[in-house]
Structure 1
Amino acid sequence: MSAVEVLRLPLTVDLSGFIALLQRLDVPYRVSEESGEQVLWVPGPQLADQVRGLYQRFPEGDPHFQLADETPRPSPRGSVLDQLKASRLTALVLLLTLAVAALTGLGDNFATIRWLSFQDFQIEGEYLYFTPLAESLAAGQWWRLVTPMLIHFGILHLAMNALWYWELGRRIESRQGGLMLLALTLGFSLVSNGVQYFNSGPSLFGGLSGVLYGLLGHCWVFQRLAPCPAYRLPPGVMAMMLIWLLVCLSGLITALGFGAIANGAHIGGLVAGCATGLLGGAIAKMRR
């Protein structure tokens, strides 16, 4: 069967994501360079029409795309392993979070929590007496600036944050790589923890939610500037998260007895995420 030309594009167009999608779908192809252009070929006109349609929908590829008639893998366990292999950093952060949850007894083991909290503290009766942050940093305890993200208080707190980090983290890891996800995670943790500290003063707080609002803002703004399938969130997700943020800011959750909410961390993470999304999206748009 003779090869059929599918696409003829300038050499400046990045086809790597789309080629990776073709490889995952086991589509035979070849790419050649002719007269300063890159040409994509496939065997047969019918396949060529299908690939053209696929490129119109996913020009950068889509790691989560599956053809309607694509035969599923025989073992669901293999599918999970594939996802874990493709999202190693996301899985590693969640594994570390689960380990800390076990060591801290989901917020009950204060002897362990005090080594990960933003400020060290001592317990006297029913009160916590916090060590000044500057004193801890002078002693070389710089990890305190980011480790509060690993502390969770209760199984529901842990479950919700873990599910959202898995959903958002693997999107960023698939699009921008594990090192970028690690940098964003640590950066958003630093900013959200700092804002929460300056907003509430010495207090015990923790959780991935500040990081999650950062990842959400990053995907949202990046997608608006440089649309890509990986960052295309389901309709209503951003609205729902913003509504939840406003409800928390209103004090209703605390008044209902569900505990204090780290609103400073949420706002700090969201603003930082929108800023990185603006920068990353602008760079991606210029490269195109």
Structure 2
Amino acid sequence: MYKLGETQSSELVAQISARLWKAKIPHQVVSTAKDESPSSEIWLVREADLPLAMEILNSPDSEKTSQQTAKTPLIESLSYAHVTWFFIFVCLGIALLTGAGGNVETVSWFSIVPMEIRGNSLSPGTLEGVIAQGEFWRLFTPALIHFGGFHLVFNLLWVWEFGRRIEQLDGKLRLLVIVLASGVISNLAQYYSDSVFFGGMSGVIYAFLGYMVVLDKLSKVPKYNLPTGIVVFMLAWLALGFTQFTEALGLGRIANAAHAVGLLSGIGIALLVRLLFSSRSVK
């Protein structure tokens, strides 16, 4: 991370931060206190952004608020979070196609193994058969299936909240690698925990969580800066999945193996990124 500047004016730092985001320059605002006087530091993620950031900082308009271009985070994310929104729209499309997981025939198109109804029972295929048929896409596509409206909305909100942060700060390729790798790993974990009828982006979401929390813990200046409340909630939800709580609420069984292994895969990716890129922007 690279320090751009410091100010005691909260209004000024907000205006500069808005201009930096408008220029698509990832950065972090860090609150500090020196001699009991509150202060804010602006840190850039990429050294290559320093010239443009300095130009913005020294611009005569840097003390003006650009109200005409102000947008909500949801609308603004459409301009940069393309991979995040791609997966959101794909999940929505598959939810429509599968009747939110209610149509077994269409769910079977995306499940980790093909399934068919024989009489009053569900007859699944095997992973060995999937590999033999070359249907390798099935290792990932269960992540795109959701069962019911709550499952869909809950997951996609977290995909947007976490995915856009990673895509903005680390780029589209990094996000895509995390999604595909953690999706496959968490799906395989759930399959080998003796389950074939499962789906959802939860494993990927927990990979996002583990990735961001670990990298922030290892960095001198956190760049994702997830609120503590969100981290606690997600970990508490993970723990509740191993109880009967969700079933008592009528939410059904939770894919605990996918959640736990997804979290571990995100932590593993963060450690790998730290190892490979410690001499660059991840510090």
For the superposition of Structure 1 and Structure 2, which TM-score range results when normalised by the shorter chain?
Answer: 0.7 to 0.9
Q: Paired residue for 2:199, among 180, 200, 206?
A: 206
* Aligned AA (2:92): L
* Aligned AA (1:107): G
Cα distance in structure 2, aligned partners of 1:267 and 1:202 = 15
Name 1:38's counterpart in structure 2. Answer: none
Cα gap change, 1:228 to 1:176, in 2 (>3 Å): farther
Q: CA deviation at 1:276?
A: 1.0
Cα distance in structure 2, aligned partners of 1:75 and 1:173 = 21
Q: CA deviation at 1:159?
A: 0.4
Q: CA deviation at 1:140?
A: 1.1
Q: Is the 8 A contact 2:183 2:204 kept in 1?
A: yes
Q: CA deviation at 1:106?
A: 0.2
Q: CA deviation at 1:278?
A: 1.9
* RMSD over aligned Cα atoms: 2.9
Cα distance in structure 2, aligned partners of 1:106 and 1:250 = 25
Percent identity between matched residues is 36
Cα distance in structure 2, aligned partners of 1:103 and 1:124 = 22
Name 1:70's counterpart in structure 2. Answer: 65
* Aligned AA (2:191): Y
Unmatched 5+ residue regions in structure 1? Answer: 1-12, 27-52
SS of residue paired to 2:279: helix
CA-to-partner distance for each residue in 1:191-227, whole Å, 9 max, x for gaps?
100111111x242000001110001000000111125
Cα distance in structure 2, aligned partners of 1:118 and 1:68 = 54
Cα distance in structure 1, aligned partners of 2:187 and 2:42 = 39
CA-to-partner distance for each residue in 1:9-32, whole Å, 9 max, x for gaps?
xxxx8689xxxx969627xxxxxx
Cα distance in structure 2, aligned partners of 1:254 and 1:107 = 18
Unmatched 5+ residue regions in structure 2? Answer: 5-14, 21-38, 50-61
Name 1:40's counterpart in structure 2. Answer: none
Deviates more, 1:119-128 or 1:168-177: 119-128
Name 2:134's counterpart in structure 1. Answer: 140
Cα distance in structure 1, aligned partners of 2:219 and 2:69 = 36
CA-to-partner distance for each residue in 1:265-286, whole Å, 9 max, x for gaps?
0001000111111222344443
- Structure 1 stretches (4+) deviating beyond 4 angstroms? 13-16, 21-24, 74-77, 227-230
Q: Paired residue for 1:58, among 17, 37, 43?
A: 43
Cα gap change, 1:91 to 1:229, in 2 (>3 Å): farther
Cα distance in structure 1, aligned partners of 2:220 and 2:228 = 15
SS of residue paired to 2:147: coil
* Aligned AA (1:269): G
Q: Paired residue for 2:123, among 120, 126, 129?
A: 129
Cα distance in structure 2, aligned partners of 1:150 and 1:198 = 19
* Aligned AA (1:177): G
Q: Is the 8 A contact 2:78 2:85 kept in 1?
A: yes
CA-to-partner distance for each residue in 1:120-141, whole Å, 9 max, x for gaps?
1110233211111111221111
Are residue 232 (structure 1) and residue 225 (structure 2) matched? Answer: yes
Name 1:44's counterpart in structure 2. Answer: none
Q: CA deviation at 1:234?
A: 1.1
Cα distance in structure 1, aligned partners of 2:101 and 2:68 = 40
* Aligned AA (1:71): S
Q: Paired residue for 2:153, among 141, 154, 159?
A: 159
Are residue 176 (structure 1) and residue 170 (structure 2) matched? Answer: yes
- Within-5 A mapping of 1:4-43: 25=19
Name 1:41's counterpart in structure 2. Answer: none
Cα distance in structure 2, aligned partners of 1:175 and 1:74 = 21
Name 1:4's counterpart in structure 2. Answer: none
Name 2:273's counterpart in structure 1. Answer: 280
Q: Is the 8 A contact 1:223 1:281 kept in 2?
A: no
SS of residue paired to 2:113: coil
Cα distance in structure 2, aligned partners of 1:274 and 1:162 = 21
Name 1:85's counterpart in structure 2. Answer: 79
SS of residue paired to 1:58: strand
